[in-house]
Amino acid sequence: MKNGIKLIDNSSNEYQLGSVLRELITDTAYSEISIATGYWDLPGMADIFNELNTFLTREKTGLRLLLGEEPSVKAYQVKNPAKQDPDFPEKYLKKNLEELQLKEEFQKVADLLCKYLNEESDGKLQIRVYRKNFLHAKCYIFGTDEENAVGVIGSSNFTRQGLFGNLELNQFEDNNATVNFIRKNLSQHPSHRTWFEDLWNDSEHWSQIFKEEILALSKHGGLCFSAYEMYIHALYRIYGQDLQDEKENKVDIDDPGSGKPQLLKFQIENANSLIKKLERQSVAMLSDSVGLGKTYTAIKVIEYYKHNLNQRVVVIAPAGLIQQWRKAFDDFRMIHIPEIYSLQDTHRIEDIRENLRSIPVGLFVFDESHNLRSTGGQRFEVFIKWRQENENAKTLMVTATPINNQLADLTNQIMLGSGGDIFRLGRFYDRSRQKYFTLKERLELLQADMRKQIREYKFINYQQIKEQLTPLLNRFIVRRTRQGIEKEYPDGLEINGKRQKFPKSYPDNLEYEVPNQFKSQLLKIAEQNKELIRAFNYEITSLAELEYLTHPLDLFEHYTEREKPINSSLEIIYTALLSLGFPCYRYNIYRHAYFGRRRGELELNADENRELSRQIGIYGIFRTVFLKRLESSLFSINKSIKSYEDKLIDFQTKLDKFNKIISVKNLSALNKAIDAYNEQNAEEDELDFDIESFEETEQEFVTIIADEAVFNVAQLKDDIAKDLSIIGILKEQIALLIKKDDKIQELAKHLNQNDDRKVIVFTYFADTLKYLSENLPGYLVKGKNIEFALGTKSEIEDYAKRFAPVSKKYELKQGEKEIDFLVATDKLSEGQNLQDCGMVVNYDLHWNPVRMIQRNGRINRLGSKFEEIFIYNFRPTEQLESYLQLVSKLQDKINLIRYTIGSDQSVLDEEPIPQDFTEDLYSRDEKKRLEAFRKIFETSELLAAEDLFMDDLREFDRNESFDTSYKESIKGLPKGKWGKVQMKKDDDDYNHLAHIIDDKNEAGYFIAYKNNKGELLTTAEGLLSIQAISTNNQRFKDIFKNKPNVESDILNYIQSYQFREGDFVNAYNKSQEAAIAYIRNSMFEYQYPYEDIMQVESCLLYSLNAYLNKENMKLVRQVNRMLRQNKHAGSEIIDKFIALAKQYKPGETTDKAPLSEIIQIFE
């Protein structure tokens, strides 16, 4: 040290306080170092580590460190000086240690501190905290009061910057008399010693706290948190806001004496969460499982907006549920109830929109919103335009089944709720593509991945889909499941002063026979058609093939012969149905260019491919529908056959008389109607369909000259005759079988034996319901009242009231009879509370698991008086397996067409998601039935993204064995801690897993790191990797190796990882770009205003509104088709582009913030 030095200002090496300290520490004349400082950090101590280590190694040496809070602003500068921070110094020390990158030099200091810190007040290393006032001065004393001590006072804190970097001013004092002067009274001058000792003696012992709670638990310390603590902390980081939303009470809690329904705790939490999500992004979806009281939860949200915020609220509900909503509002004693409109009454809604346009809507509520999952209908258009007109409105969607058959179901509902502005929900990561997309884009890509899985692997990896769906949906969906409630409240919930649980469900079978004693007679009837008789010699599955473009009865050389003769009545009917060629619906195959060839061999342009594929697809759907109608009831299939016969005769007549092919022009609309009839995409009021009534309402028909140069007209006529022959045979065969209908007799037998509970019987088809109403009563014993829910929505609601007067809170009127057995279609399966009932009978096989869930949910609800619920499913005693496989094979063929057309050549509605456990549901093995039943519900939860992680967080948060301070400590674990993956899977290919936050402090990014390469995982994938249970709650010693290098590598990776994309531009293929260029040039040619041209171009290229983009794409494709057909696209189409462009609002961005910090590392 330079002789005579008095002032130290860090201006050069010799005047650096750190250099001075190094020399003083190594001086063996001093056995004690006393330091008072406002800040301390590891780097400062790391810079003098060697000297400090040597000092502490010596015998009888000691270091005392006094920490005190510095005022951030001088007291004289403010009227109200700041108060001391009660969290000092914990808060700043934890933050400092978190932000400090792992390095060997810091690790050495941490080890040194932990080595010498102990509980004894006379330990080698002691730390105390002064809390009685701010501590602005800094003091360094070398030597005891018995040694020739030296001291430094001034501005330098015991930090790297204070010792070596900042411009400071400190005074060095080497006069022991000054430093060690003992002050006797206040009139004497103070000294270094008395100033320090007074504060030291008036301070809090903090060595143990610093060692165990600050240093050891930091990422530089030697103690690791348990796997469970690390998992819960990750959940807090990701879902903490959602948990807080549930707790932050926004809704009014009604007094038990008010007479209003008392909401359960989870319903209140859900209402609070929904309001917070609506406030944040204007759209939210309540998607609780059936039977959890979604209407009451929604009413609490409505009350908040209607009464608390005095906003206009509009409720849109299916017609059949309007009365139920009014009753619910009455139960809550709402004086001014919201406007309630029928989902179906679009004309009235158009009038309301126009007449009340000046009064903005504050909240839209769409009940059973899955009915608006299709963007193609008039309803969707009406509602999305109304939503767009109310820019500041919020939208609450209510549905237990947001996904029926495809992910687009969900996308379209959110598109509606956001007025098309799905991009406001942010961007989401696609691991396989290593990019971020909007919610709509991400769901569409996920749907494409599912199609690819079906094509390549013949199944869907549901767990993988769930892992990717969860983070997408968590932002706007609030969902509680029955399983989650049972887990959260294992002892049940208190309802009206009584603790209740969900009833247990038990699926069982009711078996019926199709009498085989008629087999010979059925074959005898078929002898009218020799080709059909020949078909009975081949495997039924052979007839299901759709490879060649010709009639099924002309493909015998491609079929597989039976090993044994046909031996069942069902197989005879199956074969006859599959022998139908449906020529009037696939007349295009009779073109000479196509007929008799494999579809895959044809070279077609886009329009030809679309039209041919649509017709082939409809042929496949008809075959599937007919098989399903057969299984439902012989009456139902008979009606379908008769409708087809009428259509075919009409087609034949026009062909013979006018030499013209006349068929429905809008085959796409026909396909949708058939799908409704097939119960795959049916809206709640469209659960039946027949060809005749559809074609009566269809205005446009296609008329094509039956030119023999183009069409094989003779073959077409021949195949019409074949089908008419088969139809005649089928009608005779069914008339024979229907005389002994074992299925209806089995149902009657089951109902007659039931004495202790009400029964609801569901069938898919209105025809079957009508048949049962006319025939079932004759088989029943007297004494029980059975009724059939035929008629309008209001009439069906009346049936429900008389069937379940207790749960419906309905008092029977004079002359009304309570219903014991009710038979209905799925018009009754949505939104009804029928807990008076204890048994469901499904008269048909299940094709759509969502329908099964809806049906079960009518009676399996909280508040049921039954502890056990029975679900009976009808199945044939024989041929079930082959029947299910047959339908599955037909569906696969249809799906193959769906998947191979390409997104720009959409032919049919999207595919239903296949289930691979239907067969087990009908097993005679009880264990298999129960497992299949569980899987159906589990898969439905998967497709609606049940958030199991949120359940885990709730469970921890409500665990009374953990006190509040412990929960807060886990919530605030220091960043950068290392932990162990408890249950690493075999296919987890990484050495380390890092949990990252972005620069907006949003967590949930996980990086799998191995061999200097990183891969970003989805939130769900990361959480599943670190998931742990409460029994994994033991902390352990940190023995991880190479930590600094690993952290450094991961930091380098995330700093190089870019989320930001260039200026957003909508993607179009070459033909679509050509169509857009055509429109732009046409607008210039027709001298449209320049502003209109630019607005159309901007909307096409830069719009982020999903609805506008979808409508624009429709128009672009229409222009494309017109150009291919050498047609002119004129002002009518241009005006449609302009109308869309007027709705476009530029300048909105959704860039995702880049990755920022590591908060957890797992090995």
The amino acid at residue 259 is G
Is 138 in contact with 36 (CB distance < 8 Å)? Answer: yes
CATH superfamily of 498-512+741-878+913-943: P-loop containing nucleotide triphosphate hydrolases (3.40.50.300)
DSSP 84-116: PPTTTTHHHHHHHHHHSPP-HHHHHHHHHHHHH
Helix axes 880-901, 439-457, angle to 10 degrees: 130
User: What CA–CA distance (Å, rounded) separates 225 from 1036?
Assistant: 7
pLDDT at 335: 84
Match 């809090």 to its residue by tokens. 204
pLDDT at 924: 55
User: What CA–CA distance (Å, rounded) separates 248 from 674?
Assistant: 48
Compute CA 295 distance to the chain's CA centroid, rounded to the nearest angstrom.
21
Q: Which of 827, 783, 831 is nearest to 807 (CA)?
A: 831
DSSP type of residue 117: B
pLDDT at 727: 96
Alpha-carbon distances of 596 from 110, 147, 554, 608, 1115, rounded to whole Å:
82, 111, 9, 17, 36
The amino acid at residue 565 is P
Residue 4 has, within 13 A of its CA and on its CB side, a CA count of: 0
**Cross-sheet strand order for the sheet of 339-342:** 339-342, 312-317, 361-367, 394-398, 283-286, 477-478
Cis peptide bond N-terminal to 89, omega within 30: yes
Residues of the chain with CATH 3.40.50.10810: 282-417
Predicted confidence (pLDDT) per residue in 26-71, tens digit: 999 999 999 999 999 999 999 999 999 999 999 999 999 999 987 6
The beta-strand segments (E) located in 949-991 are 977-979
pLDDT at 754: 86
Strand 1036-1037 vs strand 223-224: parallel, antiparallel, or unpaired?
Answer: antiparallel
User: What CA–CA distance (Å, rounded) separates 268 from 250?
Assistant: 9
Q: Could you tell me which residues come within 8 angstroms of residue 963 by beta carbon, excluding any fewer than 6 positions away? A: none
From 3.20.20.150, 3.20.20.70, 3.30.870.10, 1.10.630.10, which CATH number describes the 7-221 domain?
A: 3.30.870.10
- The SS3 assignment for 997 reads strand
- The SS3 assignment for 169 reads coil
Radius of gyration of the chain (CA): 38
Residues of the chain with CATH 3.30.870.10: 7-221
Q: Could you tell me which residues come within 8 angstroms of residue 110 by beta carbon, excluding any fewer than 6 positions away? A: 42, 215, 218, 220, 221, 222
403-438: burial string, b at 16+ Cβ within 10 Å, e else: bbbbbbbbbbbbbbbbbbbbbbbebbbbeeeeebbb
Pick out the chain residues at pLDDT < 50: 75-76, 121, 665-668, 672-700, 889, 893-894, 896-919, 921-922, 939-946, 1059-1063, 1148-1153
Is 382 in contact with 364 (CB distance < 8 Å)? Answer: no
Tokens of 833: 């509370």
- The SS3 assignment for 801 reads helix
- 282-417 CATH: 3.40.50.10810
Longest dimension (CA), the chain: 130
Predicted confidence (pLDDT) per residue in 1074-1105, tens digit: 889 888 888 877 788 888 888 898 888 878 77
User: What CA–CA distance (Å, rounded) separates 627 from 619?
Assistant: 13
Q: Could you tell me which residues come within 8 angstroms of residue 517 by beta carbon, excluding any fewer than 6 positions away? A: none
Residue 487: enclosing H or E segment and its boundaries?
Answer: helix 482-488
pLDDT at 406: 67
Residues of the chain with CATH 3.40.50.300: 498-512+741-878+913-943
pLDDT at 119: 54
User: What CA–CA distance (Å, rounded) separates 491 from 1141?
Assistant: 57
DSSP 330-343: HHTT-SSPPEEEET
User: What CA–CA distance (Å, rounded) separates 485 from 488?
Assistant: 5
